[in-house]
Structure 1
C-alpha cells in the first residue's frame, strides 16, 4: 500500500496516476529523455507530466540541472515508496494461486560464478519452482539498480554496498592451482621456490577496483612469497578463464575453492603448495535495493541459493611449508 501522508494522498486523483508512473520511470533513469523513450512519449511530454504532478502534490520532485536532472530529498523519498509499492503489486499479480510461486527474476552475476557455481545447479531450482522464470545476466561491473531492471545481484566482494541491502551467501578461500603435469614439470610440490620459474595466470577483475594481480598479491603476502612471484604472466578478465588456462598447462592460477573444488576432486587441477585458506575479506554476497517486503518469488530463490551454498567453510586446510 502506498503510504503517503494525508496531505499528499488527498491530492491524488485518477488523472495523476499516469503522472506517478511517468515520475517513477524518470526517477529510475534520472533522465527525461530516456524515460520518454521507454514510455513512447516526447521528453517535453514527460517534463509536462512531472510539472503537473509537482503542482498537484505541492512538492518539488526533481532538481533541473544544466544537462541532467536529479531527485530532491522529497523526490527520493516518494521514489522509494513507489518502488516498494509497485514491487508488492507486481508480486501479488504474478501469483497464480495462494500456494504456487510464480513470476520472473532478473539476476545479475559475475561471469565466473555463473559458469562454475550457479548454472550447474539451476535445474534443481526449476524442478522445485516451475512457474518461476530467471533472466540471468552476467558482467564484471556493479549493476545500477536504478537504471537496469535487476532484482538481485550476486557479487564476489568485500561486503561494502552503500545504500543497498546485502547478505553474505558464502565464504571463499584461495589457493594456487595448476595441472598435475605443470606441477610435475616445475617440481612445485617439492620446491615451492620454483614458483619464480612459472607463469602466473591472473583474473584482472577479481572484484570491484581490484588490481590485475590482486589475488596473487593477497596469497603471496600471506605466505611470505612476494619475492618469489615471477614477472611472466597471462591476464584474463574472468577467474574461470585463468583456471581453464591452468588446466591446459599454461601456468598457475589462483583458484577459488567454491569454483574449482570439483576440478581438484577429479584430478584436473592440483594444489601444489598448500590447501585453501582465507585470504582477505572477499566473499559472495546477494545484493538488492532496499525493499519494504521481499517478493515471494525472490525470497524462495534466495533461500534456495543459501541451501546450495551450505554451511560456511570452517578452518584452513593447510599452511605453506618452505
Structure 2
C-alpha cells in the first residue's frame, strides 16, 4: 500500500486537497470512529474510510489500526493527530486575537519565584481588571529556560547578564540589606551594632546568584560594609529569597532582603533593618526576556503594564531609611 513512489518526501508540502483530508482525519481520530466522524461531517462511513485511505497513500503513513468493529491510531497517527490539533488550536487562537484586537487568549510568563511572590503576583489583580480576556499563566523556577517547545512567551530573571540572542528589557536594579523583626533585633542587640550578628542566625538565598551561591549575598554585603567574615556565623539556607524573608518575619533570624521585594514589609513595620544606610547595590538586575523582539499585542501590553510603576522620576530601588 505504501510504496516508495507515494511516500511524502521532505521537499513536498501539504496541499489544499490534503488539508480537507486532514480535517477528516482529525474528526475521525477525535471520535476514534468512522461512523461518528461521518455523523459530524454529514458523510457516509465509507466516504470517511475512503478519504482516510487516500490520505494514508499520499502521505505514505498508516494512520489507523483497523479491526472489524473499531479503529485506533498508530504511533505515527498519534504524532500527526497531536501536531494537527495543536496547529488548529493555535490557528483558532490567532483568529480570536485578530477579531479581538489581539488582546485575548493565553499568555504564559515564567519568573523567578521570589519576584513572582513578592512583586508580580500582588499586582496581577490590576492587570486582570485591565485585560480580562487575557488568560495569564504564571510559572516559576530558578533555571534559565529554553523557550523552544515550552510555550512560554516571556521570562523574568534576576541575573548579571543575558545572552545576546534574546530580547531583554531591564525591569529594575536591586539593593540588598539585612532585615529582621523588631523583637529579634532587640533580643540580639543588633541596632547599629553589626558585630552582634555573630550571635544571630543568618538567613539567605542559597541560589541567589547560581545553584550553589551559599551565603554569597551576606559576603557581598559584609565586604562592602568593611565587616569581618561571616563564614563562622550560624545560618539557614533556602532556595528562594522570599522564604528567607518569611523565616525572618517569624523571628528565625536575620534575612538578607532585596529592597524591591521587601519594601512593603518595611513600610508596615513587619520587618526592620537594624543597620540603616548599609544597603549594597547588586550586580544582578531584574530582566524581562523574550525569544524575539517581535511581540504579540498581548505580550506588548503585558510589558507596558509591567513597566508602568517603574517609569516615574523616583527610583524604586533606592532605600530611604
Work out whether the TM-score is over 0.5: yes
Shift, 1:314, TM fit? 6.5
Partner of 1:202, secondary structure, is: strand
Partner of 1:282, secondary structure, is: strand
Whether the aligned pair in 2 keeps the contact of 1:217 and 1:226 (CA below 8 Å) is no
Whether the aligned pair in 2 keeps the contact of 1:172 and 1:256 (CA below 8 Å) is yes
Partner of 1:244, secondary structure, is: helix
Whether the aligned pair in 1 keeps the contact of 2:206 and 2:214 (CA below 8 Å) is yes
Shift, 1:309, TM fit? 3.5
Mapped to 2, the partners of 1:217 and 1:236 lie a distance apart of 16
Shift, 1:216, TM fit? 1.1
Counterpart residue number, 2:41: none
Mapped to 1, the partners of 2:244 and 2:74 lie a distance apart of 47
Whether the aligned pair in 2 keeps the contact of 1:180 and 1:270 (CA below 8 Å) is yes
Counterpart residue number, 1:240: 242
Mapped to 1, the partners of 2:107 and 2:160 lie a distance apart of 25
Mapped to 2, the partners of 1:164 and 1:283 lie a distance apart of 16
- Residues 230/200 of structure 1: CA separation in 2 closer, same or farther (3 Å cut): farther
Counterpart residue number, 1:257: 259
Counterpart residue number, 1:64: none
Shift, 1:156, TM fit? 1.1
State the aligned residue count.
250
Counterpart residue number, 2:295: 294
Q: 1:24-54, CA deviations, whole angstroms, 9 ceiling, x for partnerless residues? A: xxxxxxxxxxxxxxxx87479979xxxxxxx
Counterpart residue number, 1:163: 165
Mapped to 2, the partners of 1:95 and 1:146 lie a distance apart of 22
Partner of 1:171, secondary structure, is: strand
Shift, 1:13, TM fit? 5.4
Mapped to 2, the partners of 1:41 and 1:159 lie a distance apart of 46
Shift, 1:119, TM fit? 0.7
Q: TM-score, normalised by structure 1?
A: 0.68
Whether the aligned pair in 1 keeps the contact of 2:174 and 2:317 (CA below 8 Å) is no
- Residues 44/98 of structure 1: CA separation in 2 closer, same or farther (3 Å cut): closer
- Residues 126/274 of structure 1: CA separation in 2 closer, same or farther (3 Å cut): same
Counterpart residue number, 2:229: 227
Whether the aligned pair in 2 keeps the contact of 1:109 and 1:155 (CA below 8 Å) is yes
Q: Is residue 94 from structure 1 mapped to residue 96 from structure 2 by the alignment?
A: yes
Q: Is residue 267 from structure 1 mapped to residue 269 from structure 2 by the alignment?
A: yes
Shift, 1:91, TM fit? 7.1
- Residues 229/271 of structure 1: CA separation in 2 closer, same or farther (3 Å cut): farther
Mapped to 1, the partners of 2:186 and 2:225 lie a distance apart of 21
Larger radius of gyration: 2
Counterpart residue number, 2:144: 142
Counterpart residue number, 2:33: none
Q: Which runs of 5+ in 1 are unaligned?
A: 1-9, 18-39, 48-85
| 4+ runs deviating over 6 angstroms | 43-47, 88-91
Shift, 1:242, TM fit? 0.4
Q: Choose which of 249, 262, 282 in structure 2 pairs with 1:280.
A: 282
- Residues 274/303 of structure 1: CA separation in 2 closer, same or farther (3 Å cut): same
Counterpart residue number, 2:309: 308
Q: TM-score, normalised by structure 2?
A: 0.69
- Residues 134/316 of structure 1: CA separation in 2 closer, same or farther (3 Å cut): closer
Mapped to 2, the partners of 1:41 and 1:194 lie a distance apart of 70
Q: Which runs of 5+ in 2 are unaligned?
A: 1-10, 20-72, 81-87
- Residues 123/252 of structure 1: CA separation in 2 closer, same or farther (3 Å cut): same
Mapped to 1, the partners of 2:284 and 2:146 lie a distance apart of 21
Whether the aligned pair in 2 keeps the contact of 1:105 and 1:297 (CA below 8 Å) is yes
Q: Is residue 131 from structure 1 mapped to residue 133 from structure 2 by the alignment?
A: yes
Counterpart residue number, 1:73: none
Whether the aligned pair in 2 keeps the contact of 1:174 and 1:256 (CA below 8 Å) is yes
- Residues 100/234 of structure 1: CA separation in 2 closer, same or farther (3 Å cut): same
| Larger CA deviation: 226-235 vs 200-209 | 226-235
